[in-house]
Amino acid sequence: MRLTEGKGYFIRCGTDTPFAGWTGTRVLECVAPTPPLSPWMALRALNEMTALLPGGLALVWDAEPSWLHALGGDSRTGFFEALSTLPGLSLHIRENAVVHFASGIFRGWMHGPEAPAGSAGELWRQGALGWVPDSGKAWSLPDFGHVPHGDTALLSASDEVVPGFLWGELLLPLGALPALDLEAIAIDLEATQLELERAFSQRMSEGGWPQTLPFQRKRCGWRVGILGGSEFQSASGSWNAAADGLRNLMRILESRLKSSVQLGPCHDPEVANLLGLQAMREGHPWRNSLALPPAPPSFTIGLGADARIPSPLESRAAFPVEFKDLLQHPPVALLRVPAIPSEGAVNAMLARLPAIPALRWVPPEINLPGPFTPEQPWAPAAEFPFPSDPHAGVQRGLFGEWE
């Protein structure tokens, strides 16, 4: 992976491959045709793909491969357990696929229009799976973008996901947007893309790209990742002005790069720290929104409050309504709680949110996500507020709805 620093931004990309990509389960049909070896051949193929993409690979479980039905229940559960722990792989499923998972470590994301209920809701509240509020057949992949599907899919399959890639990412704090030279940034990205295309064409001509992951130039674009939403709000920034600035940036980039550009939040603490250090070191005007020393000079990832510091659930799950139709995927909200919340408490909290982000609960039974830094440690779970259930103290009638 290559990280290039600019004034108020970073460009992250690969060296001779695309930075990241996504695909559906159709590739697993091609690489694993023989049922006895199918699960292990599929895992091997996915491992080869993720090794070539420094930003990771998103596997969208849009349909089950035919060979999966021949496996027993334990074998299918074991396959999903191994699949979800591959390094660099992000697993995305519908609610009907959660029967393959058990409680425990975080394994991937569920996509659906309503908050998970039943056994899926239990896994969600226990932290084993996250939830992305997608409507209809849409797939909005956190840290990747919106994925084509339906009428635009291959072979006119209604749910099939079209494989796609990202050349790289442009990462910047939201408060720096008005002061940046957008045309100069577009020129830098154009030069980077030209260099990547030349290096990647050489790799493909030498047979260094797997045939199981088809590449099409027209389905490869860029991603803009924004962060520092908490600092932007504390500095009395206007969400409407920021949305207009981001639309202008997208228009300039798409015109210069002649490719699609995804817009979404950035959830990388390392980049947030580097951008904060740069703002302080070089005296950029957007440094005024950062906390004063001895607090570490680092921006907050995403758009909400810092997930490591105890604060109200609504502030950690903050998602400006002005950005709801602008972003290609919602921000990720990590909600640490002192115990597993109840279904009623979760529904009451969701009803108070004007726009719902991708939610992942982090109770004490789930390992905390890294990286871990001495300057910004996670507060103990007991210090975080617990979501209140307004119906917890109400005695239900004996005859329920008949009364």
Evaluate if residue 151 carries a pLDDT over 70: no
pLDDT value, residue 33 = 66
The Cβ of residue 33 has, within 10 Å, a number of other Cβ atoms equal to: 12
Angle at 320 between CA 163 and CA 276, to 5 degrees: 80
pLDDT, tens digit, 9 for 90 and up, residues 262-305? 999 999 999 999 999 999 999 999 999 898 888 889 999 999 99
In three state form, how does the secondary structure of 129-194 look?
A: EEEEECCCCCCEECCCEECCCHHHCHHHCCCCCCCEEEEEEEEEEHHHHHHCCHHHHHHHHHHHHH
Q: Tokens 């290609």 appear where? A: 328
Per DSSP, the three-state class of 3 is: strand
pLDDT value, residue 58 = 96
pLDDT value, residue 40 = 85
Evaluate if residue 400 carries a pLDDT over 70: no
Strands 220-227 and 261-265: parallel
Mean predicted confidence (pLDDT) in 354-367: 94
Q: Tokens 């302080």 appear where? A: 280
Mean predicted confidence (pLDDT) in 34-49: 84
pLDDT value, residue 85 = 85
| H-run or E-run covering 94 | strand 89-94
CB 242 within 8 A of CB 172: no
The Cβ of residue 367 has, within 10 Å, a number of other Cβ atoms equal to: 11
Tell me the whole-structure pTM to 2 decimals.
Answer: 0.91
Q: Among 32-41, 141-150, 171-180, which is the least confidently predicted range?
A: 32-41
Please choose, from the candidates 364, 279, 267, the residue with its C-alpha nearest in 3D space to the C-alpha of residue 316.
267
Evaluate if residue 25 carries a pLDDT over 60: yes
**pLDDT-based confidence at 319, cuts 50/70/90?**
very high
Identity of the residue numbered 235: A
Mean predicted confidence (pLDDT) in 178-187: 95
Hey, what's the torsion of the CAs at 240, 242, 243, 249, to 10 degrees? 150
What is the pLDDT of the chain when averaged over all its residues?
89
Mean predicted confidence (pLDDT) in 384-395: 71
Angle at 156 between CA 152 and CA 162, to 5 degrees: 45
Share of the chain above pLDDT 90, in %: 67
**pLDDT-based confidence at 152, cuts 50/70/90?**
very low
pLDDT, tens digit, 9 for 90 and up, residues 100-135? 787 888 989 999 999 999 999 999 999 999 999 998
Mean predicted confidence (pLDDT) in 353-382: 92
CB 108 within 8 A of CB 130: yes
What is the spatial distance between Cα 224 and Cα 227, in angstroms, rounded to a whole number? Answer: 10
What is the spatial distance between Cα 107 and Cα 82, in angstroms, rounded to a whole number? Answer: 10
